[in-house]
A and B are shown apart, each in its own frame.
Chain A
Amino acid sequence: MAVIEHFEAESGAGEIALSEATARDFFELLKPRVMSLVVFTALAGLVVAPGTINPVLGLIAILCIAVGAGASGALNMWYDADIDAVMSRTARRPIPAGRIRPEEALAFGLTLSVFSVVILGLAVNWLSAGLLAFTIFFYAVVYTMWLKRSTPQNIVIGGAAGAFPPMIGWACVTGGVSIESVVLFLITFLWTPAHFWALALFKMRDYDAVGVPMLPNVAGEATTKVQILAYAVLTAAIAVVPTFLGFASLGYGVFAAVLGAGFVWYSLGVLFMPEGDRAMVPAKKLFAFSILYLFAIFSGLMLDHLVAAFGWVS
């Protein structure tokens, strides 16, 4: 028990503000929605990789990757609290809303980073732990602290952080990195710009207000629309490569091609969206479809692998 003379611990008003953060606030720091995508793509890497892993260790691996991703989210929120406070999309996050103090978020993020990496290394292997550590570093330092505020290509390069989880999942099973896991990485890596710039288009004014150089603000709507289409085409192309490399069936290839055509179709909708359109319905549609697209592609890969592995079709 702290012993202080004549001290009333009124949060925010007193000399020392004692925390009123709840466990739920800390959970929010982990960016649970981003985490769900990470868990899903990491699981795809685990399932699609050749060989087997003890199911319990597989679960622990997914847990570690999820916590590591959450830790990098907490570090991101710690560093970005100043601009989060200004943007409508992020103003209610725990730090700008005053529910968690920045130093609490920093300690939380660092602790979870260390625990997730060490446990993954001890339980599974040190290559996957190293990849997870690199992913956290890449997202928290390279993307958040450096690229995000300095270049409109921020999310192109920073997108690598979100693309590593399937590669980590693959490394958990095989203990290595191969061309197949690089293809899994590239699917998310090439998908990220189209996904994020669709959001940036209809949240352009927010990013403008805080001086984050997102492509629509720096290069203009027209250039962004062309680049969205270019990345959508590249994503559609790379998503069928697993069939050509032989680690997915022709059925998956057709499925990925149809989905890719949908992705390109929605991107064309954005391309032909009138300049200065306030509602930006096509951009919102593309953003929604892009999330569905990534879930569907990785679901397709997993299903395809399970069908081949268990011989559900002859």
Chain B
Amino acid sequence: METVNLTENQKKSRRGRNVALAVVLFALVVLFYVITLVKFTGGIAG
């Protein structure tokens, strides 16, 4: 049984895409946290 053999270029670009995706996911978590915070404090202040 053999696995898919990735070329060096494919490995490098996949790693780059994974890092970018991780950054975007983390940014989304922060974004939703900030939105929640602003909405709640706005609601309390209002």
A binds B: yes
Interface residues of A (CB under 8 A from B): 1-11, 18-24, 26, 54, 56-57, 60, 119, 122-123
B4 x A10 contact (CB < 8 A)? no
Chain B binding surface, main DSSP class: helix
B17 x A21 contact (CB < 8 A)? yes
B34 x A18 contact (CB < 8 A)? no
The residue of chain B having its C-beta at the shortest distance from the C-beta of A16 within the complex is B4
Residue B31 interfacial (CB < 8 Å): yes
Residues of B near A3 (CB, < 8 A) are 1, 3
25 contacts between A and B (CB under 8 A): A2-B3, A2-B4, A3-B1, A4-B2, A5-B1, A5-B2, A6-B2, A7-B2, A9-B5, A9-B6, A11-B9, A11-B10, A19-B13, A20-B9, A20-B10, A22-B16, A22-B17, A23-B17, A26-B20, A54-B38, A56-B34, A57-B35, A60-B31, A119-B31, A123-B35
Residue B29 interfacial (CB < 8 Å): no
For chain B, residues 5 to 34, give those with C-beta under 8 angstroms from any C-beta of chain A.
5-7, 9-10, 13-14, 16-17, 19-20, 31, 34
Residues of B near A19 (CB, < 8 A) are 10, 13-14, 17
A122 x B35 contact (CB < 8 A)? yes
Instruction: Bin the interface of chain B by size.
Output: 20 to 34
Residues of B near A6 (CB, < 8 A) are 2
Interface residues of B (CB under 8 A from A): 1-7, 9-10, 13-14, 16-17, 19-20, 31, 34-35, 38-39, 42
Residues of B near A56 (CB, < 8 A) are 34, 38
- Cα A22 to Cα B17 in complex, Å, equals 6
The residue of chain B having its C-beta at the shortest distance from the C-beta of A59 within the complex is B34
B38 x A22 contact (CB < 8 A)? no
CB distance from B34 to the nearest CB of A (A): 6
A9 x B16 contact (CB < 8 A)? no
B16 x A18 contact (CB < 8 A)? no
Residues of B near A60 (CB, < 8 A) are 31, 34-35
Q: A22-B13, A26-B20, A119-B31 are in contact. Are A4 and B7 (CB under 8 A)?
A: no
For the complex of A and B, list the 10 residue pairs with the smallest distance between their C-beta atoms, beginning with the closest.
A23-B20, A20-B13, A9-B4, A123-B35, A2-B4, A22-B16, A22-B13, A23-B16, A18-B10, A20-B9
- Cα A5 to Cα B2 in complex, Å, equals 5
The residue of chain A having its C-beta at the shortest distance from the C-beta of B20 within the complex is A23
Residues of B near A23 (CB, < 8 A) are 16-17, 19-20
Residues of A near B1 (CB, < 8 A) are 3, 5
